[in-house]
Amino acid sequence: MDYKYISADNHLDAYWLPKDLWQKRLPANMRENGPKVVETPQGSYWFWEGKTHWDSADGSSNAKMQKKYFSRANLKDGERPPADPKMLLEHMDMASIYSGIFFANTRKWSVQDPKLRDEIFRTYNDFIIEEINAHSPDRILALPNLPTYDPAGCVTELKRLIDKGTKAVEFGLFDLGKPLYDEAWEPVFEMAASANIPLCTHIGDGAGNPYPPNVRGSSLAHFSITPFAALKFIPQFVFSGAFERFPDLRVCIAECRIGWLPFLFNWMDRQAEIRPPDQTVPLSKMPTDYIKNNMVFTFEEDYIGAKMLDKDWAHLAGCAVWGSDYPHEQGTWPDPSAAIEEMFKGIDPKLKHEIVYEHSRRFFNIEGPQAAKKALSA
């Protein structure tokens, strides 16, 4: 394969997970209330704590879910590609993608029993590391979820995941147990930085928050502003001094796009210039220096942002990375080439390669196909 891309934003949504994932792995006393798939007149759904929730493609809803997400692929009945690592690699090859970072939506699950919620996270994380990532560790980087609703629990789970060999973790920002600038996060940041583990987050909402109905413009309005969901967290990471104290800490914010970021970056620098410094967290650099050293932001099709990629004043060249958003409808899979060629017209090919491949390779500690070939021949 001639691999052209590394995609820093892909999805392994719960629709595709095996219906017995939690029933096989949860402690016996939690299985009755734990996630299972039930059949209804409307199709197959995930069910826990006495309520139906998400669709499940591991049942009678399979054809419906395939039609919604994989109309561009020739799937057989019952197939669930994002949860089948062999098919996942085939789909990545179709798009000339060497490696992909995969986000879950289990972080959006509303679970009332805190002990059950903890076990749901741990069970999912074990499945991801042992049965998905293990199939091709340098190519499939599905992210285990940290329980960010519990800072102390994050420390315990992060250590466990590091011991299991994870390369990166999802650090959900929308159900934080403490504000991001709170000292409670110091042990998490320190451990992630020391172990060279990027903290990744994805735009979205808090657990259990439904999307608004497609009525009187509410749905279109909601999805028009989703790129800005991470807005407040970017300055909080920087001005809290997290990157000053932990220079090796890395943070990825996925699917926020990049066209709006130059204003935020320059406005953050402006605050550092005109406002009195915070004596509790002195910073030795400008905000944009930390952003370029410690953060990346993903985009799939952003023709506005692409026009600023090579502008020094935009500060995007050092922090923008590409993602296909596989397999979501707005994504660029299975052939991202047309969108990428259009976005990168007039851009230096070296900068293009940096953004669609090389920066993500370094950021996520990916060895790449040459290292894989070398290992096979050894």
- Tell me the pLDDT tens digit for each residue of 156-196: 999 999 999 999 999 999 999 999 999 999 999 999 999 99
Q: If you average pLDDT over residues 210-230, what whole number do you get?
A: 91
H-run or E-run covering 6: strand 5-11
Residue 372's pLDDT is what? 56
CA distance 287 to 266: 9
H-run or E-run covering 37: strand 36-40
At 325-354, the pLDDT tens digits run: 999 988 899 999 999 999 999 999 999 999
φ/ψ of 46, rounded to 5, equals -70, 140
Q: How many CA atoms lie within 13 A of 6 on its CB side?
A: 25
Confidence of residue 152 (pLDDT cuts 50, 70, 90): very high
3-state helix, strand, coil in the chain (%, to 5): 45, 15, 40
Q: Is residue 292 classed exposed, middle or buried when 0-12, 13-18 and 19+ CB atoms within 10 A define those classes? A: middle
Residue 207's pLDDT is what? 87
Confidence of residue 260 (pLDDT cuts 50, 70, 90): very high
Residues belonging to the chain = 378
Q: Is residue 103 classed exposed, middle or buried when 0-12, 13-18 and 19+ CB atoms within 10 A define those classes? A: buried
Q: Find the CATH number of the domain harbouring 172.
A: 3.20.20.140
Residue 144's pLDDT is what? 98
Residue 1's pLDDT is what? 81
CA distance 53 to 40: 12
Place of tokens 């990916």: 366
Q: Which of 331, 328, 268 is nearest to 299 (CA)?
A: 331
Q: Which of 106, 189, 204, 200 is nearest to 154 (CA)?
A: 189
At 67-77, the pLDDT tens digits run: 999 998 889 99
- 367-375 long-range contacts, Cβ below 8 Å, gap at least 24? 367/138, 368/98, 368/99, 368/138, 369/1, 369/3, 369/98, 371/138, 372/138
* 360 occurs within a structural domain: yes
CA distance 98 to 9: 13
Q: If you average pLDDT over residues 202-207, what whole number do you get?
A: 90
At 288-324, the pLDDT tens digits run: 999 999 999 999 999 999 999 999 999 999 999 999 9
Residue 357's pLDDT is what? 98
* 48 occurs within a structural domain: no
CA distance 281 to 300: 35
Residue 211's pLDDT is what? 86
* 225 occurs within a structural domain: yes
Contact 259, 304 (CB under 8 A): yes
Q: How many CA atoms lie within 13 A of 366 on its CB side?
A: 26
CA distance 34 to 343: 45
Q: Which of 107, 100, 173 is nearest to 141 (CA)?
A: 100
Please tell me which residue, 207 or 147, carries the higher pLDDT value.
147
Mean pLDDT computed over every residue of the chain: 95
Taking the CB of residue 305, how many other CB atoms lie within 10 A of it? 20
The conformation of residue 326, written as its DSSP 8-state character, comes to B
Residue 374's pLDDT is what? 58
At 78-104, the pLDDT tens digits run: 999 999 999 999 999 999 999 999 999
* 84 occurs within a structural domain: yes
Q: Which of 261, 259, 255, 258 is nearest to 331 (CA)?
A: 255
Q: Per DSSP, which regions of 82-150 are E strands?
A: 97-103, 140-142
Residue 378, pLDDT > 90, answer: no
Residue 300's pLDDT is what? 96
* 121 occurs within a structural domain: yes
Residue 58's pLDDT is what? 98
* 69 occurs within a structural domain: no
Tally the domains of the chain.
1
At 97-144, the pLDDT tens digits run: 999 999 999 888 999 999 999 999 999 999 999 999 999 999 999 999
Residue 183's pLDDT is what? 97
The boundaries of the domain holding residue 235 are: 5-14+80-369
Residue 48, pLDDT > 60, answer: yes
* Percentage of residues of the chain with pLDDT beyond 70: 98
- Tell me how far apart the terminal alpha carbons of the chain are, to the nearest angstrom: 20
**Which pair of tokens denotes residue 375?**
């290992």
Strands across the sheet with 43-48, in order? Answer: 36-40, 43-48, 51-55
Torsion of CA 260, 263, 268, 269, to 10 degrees: 140
* 378 occurs within a structural domain: no
Residue 345's pLDDT is what? 97
* 143 occurs within a structural domain: yes
Q: How, if at all, do strands 36-40 and 251-254 pair?
A: unpaired
Q: Which of 139, 131, 92 is nearest to 367 (CA)?
A: 139
Alpha carbon separation from 369 to 85, 96, 98, 357 (Å, rounded): 17, 12, 7, 12
